[in-house]
Amino acid sequence: MGKALPRSPLAPAGFPELPEVRGLELGVAEAGTRYRGRLDAMLAVLPEGSAVAGVLTRSATASSDVLGCREVLARGGTGRAAILVSAGNANAFTGKAGDGSVAAIRTGVAGAAGVPEARVLTSATGVIGEPLPHDRILAVLDRLAAGGASWEDAANAIRTTDTFPKGAGGRVGGAALAGIAKGSGMIAPDMATMLAYVFTDAAIRADRLQAMLARQAARTFNRITVDSDTSTSDTLLLAATGMAGPVDEAAFEEALHGVLLDLAHQIVRDGEGATKFVTVRVTGAETEGDAERVARAIADSPLVKTAIAGEDPNWGRVVMAVGKSGARADRDRLAIRFGDVLVASDGWVHPGYREEDAAAHMKGREVTIHVNLGLGRAEATVWTCDLTHGYIDINADYRS
Amino acid sequence: MGKALPRSPLAPAGFPELPEVRGLELGVAEAGTRYRGRLDAMLAVLPEGSAVAGVLTRSATASSDVLGCREVLARGGTGRAAILVSAGNANAFTGKAGDGSVAAIRTGVAGAAGVPEARVLTSATGVIGEPLPHDRILAVLDRLAAGGASWEDAANAIRTTDTFPKGAGGRVGGAALAGIAKGSGMIAPDMATMLAYVFTDAAIRADRLQAMLARQAARTFNRITVDSDTSTSDTLLLAATGMAGPVDEAAFEEALHGVLLDLAHQIVRDGEGATKFVTVRVTGAETEGDAERVARAIADSPLVKTAIAGEDPNWGRVVMAVGKSGARADRDRLAIRFGDVLVASDGWVHPGYREEDAAAHMKGREVTIHVNLGLGRAEATVWTCDLTHGYIDINADYRS
């Protein structure tokens, strides 16, 4: 299972204070599917009138749990619902046995929590290709259904090798909004998995909840990258109990954006081996798609990420990444900044550029790369971390 | 300029014997644009009747030299021609000054080698964003034009931090075919650049030469990856002097494929920090495009590449990469082999699989991953290397 990893140097000071979401019951337990002596299962039970929205991995080899979530979400509607998450075994690439585990858990949760089977969502994260011993989860269902868990317990129960629990929340009018996430630690032979669960007691119709979540996931979770690899199990769910009544939906969506972005940034801050939190901002693009393509090419480039690890203001590698992105770009209109330092403009190094200024910015924990393509008004931002020996240690040298 | 790197453990025993290409004159010199005390410039002069074909980087921030090559190739036709390559400075992202350097070199080469300016092709590789001191190249043009260099000298003269010179060749009927290449070493703040020059004395029409080169580049150089980053300067040129007369063109194309593949493999074998040569073969796809997409997703995945570095037969990460590729795949039809060991089939680990068998294969210098998608008859192969601490050392810790 690998050695315990030290807490990320980019971790926040502590777990945040999160508001109570009316009608939501959180339960946690030690199921022991893989880990021993720690919380590894979480159950969220949602009351009558609840709506659930979700964004799931686009992987063609998605896990049985993801396939199950897709079915539940496709049905839509409101009513009692439950979300069960277990950590330690991903139940991915386990063939028909994986589908069977999901079915068994859904039946069990439906009975224990008084929820229709067709409204039970499940997630699993951890080792891949091993059968999920789901009897161990069934054995702790009563404890999970008893509720009473804190947000921090719930965030801890869904961790795999995350080095800190992740939570974020806020208020919109009289309604509360709070969520937890896990990622992107890893245990060989596992793959990183991003899971996030956000709850509100605002009353919002299921179809509008889904539309908001899709829009805001695209601008938050879908704009982070640690190593460009996509998990078979990525799951983001948003549930609304409705018990605080209607809210201003524009204000709600803005608050939702803030919570999703906060959780997404925490995942980057726990990226494997990360020592720098990197913001890649691209402006002056012809379209937002082009801006995102360039930002992602920079944020995914191993050469850019190793240069950041080495605290090297290597703008040549940024030019390279712009060029390979597939977006429209013009060498002679590019401007590149590290932090506030203008490095390159008009197709060449800026006349006033002094490498020591950019090098000073690169020494900080927070690095910003800003590329202005000089072609239009569209922009996009992608967040990532550096690529260090720690990444190789975690993924090559540690064995389960 | 970084410390000299040790010779790659994947390097061939020595430089191969290459045939003489009639009519081709190779010259080398020490221009000293960046390096001291080593060959760093190469000139190939081609006689009357020569045709030249090329495949160049698709980067939107391509170097001035690449833009110049595009112009020359677009004109087509046959006649005397020259190719000048210098190592140490990429002349990339140097604005209008870069275009000026190319123009000055073309004028100089035209005079020294008796070649029309419109048929002088140039390449440069090395540090980016610094003006190319092209006067130093002009100063050694007479020596370059004097010819008489060996293939090995020419291969050495185009190296940057390559740990060995790269050459490959063969015969087709009465004609010779031989080429040299460089890549993918790196000096911070440089980016890896792939350059390759292949020559023949066969007589082949320029348009057919170009068509063959495009087809075979797609199956060789465009199917290797070290770190998924694309240089601003990648250049592959093929020149035919015609002095050996016509050949069977199907046989020629097959020989060309062999030479290009050999050079491409040598570049992977000199990949930064590489300790394993990895063949990723995908069969059973609906289309060749899908097969290539899956093979590339596996070969570019940092998680797969670190697992290979750790000699870990981590088939879960292969499943992940298949899933993220965007190609059509069906979890329950996948079969995965490491070497000859069947690891997974029918959506789960193979019943007879013993991890020690796959682990034994992973300990070798040559690793093969074979994925059968079980959907159709199309296939593709991509070659790569592992991702090791050596890659981080070269790209993060070394500074120029």
Was A283 annotated as part of a binding site? no
Per-residue pLDDT tens over the stretch A214-261: 888 888 888 777 776 666 777 888 989 989 999 999 999 999 999 988
Given CB atoms, is B144 within the 8 Å cutoff of chain A?
Answer: no
Report the 10 Å Cβ neighbour count for B2: 16
Query: Which pair of structure tokens corresponds to residue B251?
Result: 């046989």
d(CA B140, CA B32): 10
Please identify which of the residues A94, A161, A193, A220 carries the catalytic annotation.
A193
Residue A184 pLDDT: 64
Enclosing H/E stretch for A373: none
Given CB atoms, is A392 within the 8 Å cutoff of chain B?
Answer: yes
Q: Mean pLDDT, to the nearest integer, of A35-49?
A: 95
Strand stretches in A128-234, DSSP E? 166-172, 175-182, 195-202, 224-225
Q: Mean pLDDT, to the nearest integer, of A35-55?
A: 94
Residue B188 pLDDT: 30
Residue B190 pLDDT: 37
Q: Mean pLDDT, to the nearest integer, of B171-194?
A: 70
Q: Which residue, among B58, B59, B294, B311, would best test binding to A if mutated, counting the most A CBs under 10 Å from its CB?
A: B59
The dihedral sign for the CA sequence B111, B112, B115, B118: negative
CATH class (in words) of the domain with range B25-269: alpha beta
Question: Do B327 and A94 lie within an 8 Å CB cutoff?
Answer: no
Q: A48 and A79 in contact (C-beta within 8 Å)? A: yes
Establish whether domains A25-269 and A277-397 are of one fold: no
B395 interaction partners in chain A (CB closer than 8 Å): 302-303, 306-307, 310
Using the 8-state DSSP alphabet, how is residue B267 labeled? H
d(CA B37, CA B27): 17
Q: Mean pLDDT, to the nearest integer, of A29-45?
A: 96
Enclosing H/E stretch for B279: strand B277-285
Q: Mean pLDDT, to the nearest integer, of B101-125?
A: 96
Given CB atoms, is B400 within the 8 Å cutoff of chain A?
Answer: no
Given CB atoms, is B184 within the 8 Å cutoff of chain A?
Answer: no
Was A160 annotated as part of a binding site? yes
Residue A393 pLDDT: 84
Helix ranges (DSSP H) in chain A = 64-75, 95-113, 135-138, 141-145, 151-157, 206-219, 249-269, 288-300, 302-309, 315-324, 355-362, 389-392
Question: Do B301 and A229 lie within an 8 Å CB cutoff?
Answer: yes
Q: From A60, which residue of chain B is nearest by alpha-carbon distance?
A: B323
Residue B230 pLDDT: 65
Residue B4 pLDDT: 65
| Domain extent listing, chain A | 25-269, 277-397
Query: Which pair of structure tokens corresponds to residue A14?
Result: 């502590």
pLDDT > 70: percent of chain B: 94
Averaging pLDDT over each range in B55-69, B183-197, B276-290, B316-330, which range is the top one?
Answer: B276-290
- The mean pLDDT value of chain B amounts to 88
In angstroms, the first-to-last Cα distance of chain B is: 4
Per-residue pLDDT tens over the stretch B338-361: 999 999 998 888 989 999 999 999
> How many helices (H) and strands (E) are present in chain B, helices listed first?
12, 16
Question: Do B315 and A57 lie within an 8 Å CB cutoff?
Answer: no
B232 interaction partners in chain A (CB closer than 8 Å): 319-320, 323
Residue A52 pLDDT: 93
Q: Which residue, among B226, B275, B387, B392, would best test binding to A if mutated, counting the most A CBs under 10 Å from its CB?
A: B392
- The mean pLDDT value of chain A amounts to 88
B34-38, B150-154, B194-198: least confidently modelled range: B194-198
> How many helices (H) and strands (E) are present in chain A, helices listed first?
12, 16
**Which is nearest to A109 in space by CA: A136, A79, A155, A141?**
A141
- A125 is annotated as an active-site residue: no
Helix ranges (DSSP H) in chain B = 64-75, 95-113, 134-138, 141-145, 151-157, 206-219, 249-269, 288-300, 302-309, 315-324, 355-362, 389-392
Q: In sequence order, which residues have a C-beta less than 8 Å from that of residue A208 and are 6 or more positions away?
A: A249
What DSSP string describes B39-50?
Answer: --EEEEEE-TT-
Given CB atoms, is B280 within the 8 Å cutoff of chain A?
Answer: no
CATH class (in words) of the domain with range A277-397: alpha beta
Instruction: Identify the band that residue B57 occupies on the pLDDT scale cut at 50, 70 and 90.
Output: confident
Between B61, B97, B320, which is nearest A232 by CB?
B320
Was A400 annotated as part of a binding site? yes
Q: How far is CA A141 from the centre of its chain?
A: 26
Instruction: Identify the band that residue B96 occupies on the pLDDT scale cut at 50, 70 and 90.
Output: confident
B128 interaction partners in chain A (CB closer than 8 Å): 316, 319-320
3-class secondary structure, B283: strand
Using the 8-state DSSP alphabet, how is residue A392 labeled? H
Per-residue pLDDT tens over the stretch B70-89: 999 999 889 999 999 999 99
